[in-house]
Chain A
Amino acid sequence: ILNVEQSPQSLHVQEGDSTNFTCSFPSSNFYALHWYRWETAKSPEALFVMTLNGDEKKKGRISATLNTKEGYSYLYIKGSQPEDSATYLCALNSGYSTLTFGKGTMLLVSP
């Protein structure tokens, strides 16, 4: 059973704060790492798919890094806005198409 861990479980920040979350995974089972944003009552939205050690990806104010040797990925949000409030999920693809998810980090950004 693959174990994908996310921390913190939840986070409450003020508008304008920068924040980051961690996803850790077994490095021996790595094929790709996915980040999703899931707003209440909506579909999970794909943010990034990361495959190479040292990968850095950016989408607007959100960026992610990947370290496959030590088994972790960071997601950064610069200058958080209330519309960034969501649950952020990471998921490991170990090469068998299916995804193994962490429990997510719930972010609340107050105006």
Chain B
Amino acid sequence: GAGVSQSPRYKVAKRGQDVALRCDPISGHVSLFWYQQALGQGPEFLTYFQNEAQLDKSGLPSDRFFAERPEGSVSTLKIQRTQQEDSAVYLCASSPGSETQYFGPGTRLLVL
């Protein structure tokens, strides 16, 4: 079946621009996670949804970062007024509630 998909795969933004990153989880998966991987680092947790409820947003680095999952399926990660330090790969993962998380291919964001 279809896996987790993310769009766009690549995004170049000018500093100060707003961006929106989309995640389509595996159908029926209850849990959805966002991670940020900076160059040379492992993925780091940003936020977690169970259905439409955002249960944990402790990893969001600033109030410029906002995530939503209004109908408990597709999720969007929005970054306002992008800064150069936001350049990273943004990974989305979904889970049926078991331990395994299934990842998308990521969105590579470059802020100039």
Contact = CB atoms under 8 A, between A and B. Distances in A.
Interface of A: 4, 6, 32, 34, 36, 41-46, 49, 51, 89, 91, 93, 96-104
Contact of A32 (B35, B56, B95, B99): B99
B104 interface: yes
Contacts of A96: 56
Most A C-beta atoms less than 10 A away, residue of B35, B59, B101, B105: B101
Interface of B: 3-4, 31, 33, 35, 40-45, 48, 56, 59, 91, 95, 99-106
Contact of B48 (A6, A45, A97): A97
A102 B99 contact: no
The 5 A-B pairs at the shortest CB distance, nearest first, are namely: A101-B42, A44-B103, A98-B45, A103-B42, A43-B105
Given A43-B4, A44-B91, A97-B31, A89 B42 contact: yes
Contacts of B95: 97
27 contacts: A4-B42, A6-B42, A32-B99, A34-B99, A34-B100, A36-B103, A43-B3, A43-B102, A43-B103, A43-B104, A43-B105, A43-B106, A45-B103, A46-B101, A89-B42, A93-B99, A97-B31, A97-B56, A98-B48, A99-B43, A99-B101, A100-B45, A101-B35, A101-B42, A101-B43, A103-B40, A103-B42
Q: Is the interface of B mostly helix, strand, loop or mixed?
A: loop
A102 B44 CA distance: 9
Nearest to B3: A43
B99 A104 contact: no
Nearest to B42: A101
B43 A98 contact: no
B96 to A, nearest CB: 12
A40 B106 CA distance: 11
Nearest to A9: B40
A21 to B, nearest CB: 13
A85 B53 CA distance: 38
